[in-house]
Amino acid sequence: MDEVDLTDRAEVQGDFETGLNADDQLELRVWLRLLTCANLIERNVRQNLRETFDTTLPRFDLMAQLDRAPDGLTMGALSRRMMVTNGNVTGLIDRLVTEGLVERRPAPGDRRAQVVRLTRAGKRAFDGMTPAHADWINEMFKGLGRQDMTALLRLLAKLKQSLAEREGQEK
Amino acid sequence: MDEVDLTDRAEVQGDFETGLNADDQLELRVWLRLLTCANLIERNVRQNLRETFDTTLPRFDLMAQLDRAPDGLTMGALSRRMMVTNGNVTGLIDRLVTEGLVERRPAPGDRRAQVVRLTRAGKRAFDGMTPAHADWINEMFKGLGRQDMTALLRLLAKLKQSLAEREGQEK
DNA sequence: CCTGGATATTTTAAACTTAAAATATCTTTC
DNA sequence: GAAAGATATTTTAAGTTTAAAATATCCAGG
């Protein structure tokens, strides 16, 4: 039997980089590896949030933003911070309001805007999740030393800067 | 007037890190910065794909995987490489098949499996997008030197390793 | 004041994504 | 060789996400 083996045994647990050549452009390799790491972390957090607290990552991210802004945020500020569209935030907030975790009220002085903030229950729920969340993240970064992390933080800052510059240009 | 300024002028263009304290755990800061970078890049590529080729990022990612596997991939292999669920791939492939960019055929020797590969038209379409895609990525990494990128690549490899280890454990 | 452009949000339609259940097939074991 | 468990995929329902259009309000200039 010399048929092609479609199960591709070399790829037991592939990712975006699988099949990429070492002589491909460095930039692409960095980007794909970055994406792989982000996906692995996201997947882990998502699963933990579901199993431990029966909630979702977008809900958690949104609540984390509100937790850091005790005076509340407008819908627009929220969507900028979460880097998602306005419409997306509208839907998420709708659901969180229904669940009683978030409250929406008209912004003083601007009848177009809404200010959103955590309710008492929302704050309580979020505080209950924070420690476990921190543990998960810490656990995932266990393989990196303090030096590694500061180096990584610095390089990512530089990349972020490089990315932010070309955001303004747009068109 | 000494009211609270809800527009928060310091946060013209916030991101996940906005509002984070410098004394927060290092791991969390690295993770959020990583996420911010990934989001900025994704957003840029997504917009470029739409404006330039009228397509989407998931479609492009899927075609990129198939392009690297000339003999095709099973649905399962594809979902592992893209790090998304099986059902997700089913839907994406359905659409790409309809558009004539991808073909699906029974896997030889296993009647449960499907082998998917780019059609002639799909290969042509993908090849037409590759150079522009590379340019976009290169442009975004312009602020990083070769040294920075290799350092970043190394650190991310270490992180990826750290993350992969705890994947196996899972229960 | 009032008109035109800017800003804040919601709505809409379509696509994407997930987790879980359902199918179908393979593989092993007795 | 039939039952039990493992694998490969699809289906389902709900949620998330996007881009674009629609609303509503603000603000600046005449």
Nearest Cβ partner for A38 among B38, B61, B146 = B38
Q: For residue B59, what are its two tokens?
A: 């479609």
The residue type at B44: N
CB-based contact, A169 to chain B, within 8 Å:
no
B73 interfacial to chain A (CB closer than 8 Å) = yes
Which nucleotides in chain D have some atom under 7 angstroms from a protein Cβ?
Answer: 7-13, 15-21, 24-27
pLDDT digits (tens, 9 = 90+) for B19-51: 777 667 999 999 999 999 999 999 999 999 999
pLDDT for the residue numbered B20: 75
Q: Which positions on chain C have an atom < 7 Å from some protein CB?
A: 7-13, 15-21, 24-27
Q: What is the residue-wise DSSP string for B74-121?
A: EHHHHHHHHTS-HHHHHHHHHHHHHTTSEEEEEPTT-TT-EEEEE-HH
**Min distance A98 CA to chain B CA atoms (Å):** 24
Does residue B153 have a pLDDT over 90? yes
A111 touches chain B (CB under 8 A): no
Smallest CA–CA distance from B76 into chain A, residue: A7
Whether B28 has its CB under 8 Å from any CB of chain A: the answer is: yes
Please give the Cα distance from B146 to B169 (Å, whole number).
35
pLDDT tens, residue order, chain A (171 aa): 333 444 444 445 678 887 777 667 999 999 999 999 999 999 999 999 999 999 999 999 999 999 999 999 999 999 999 999 999 999 999 999 999 999 999 999 899 999 999 999 999 999 999 999 999 999 999 999 999 999 999 999 999 999 988 776 543
Greater pLDDT, A45 or B13? A45
How many CA atoms does the CB half-sphere of A109 hold within 13 Å? 7
Q: How much is the average pLDDT of B95-104?
A: 96
Residue B127 reports pLDDT greater than 70: yes
For position A9, what pLDDT does the model report? 41
Q: Which of A126, A155, A165, A169 to mutate to test the interface with B (most CBs of B within 10 A)?
A: A155
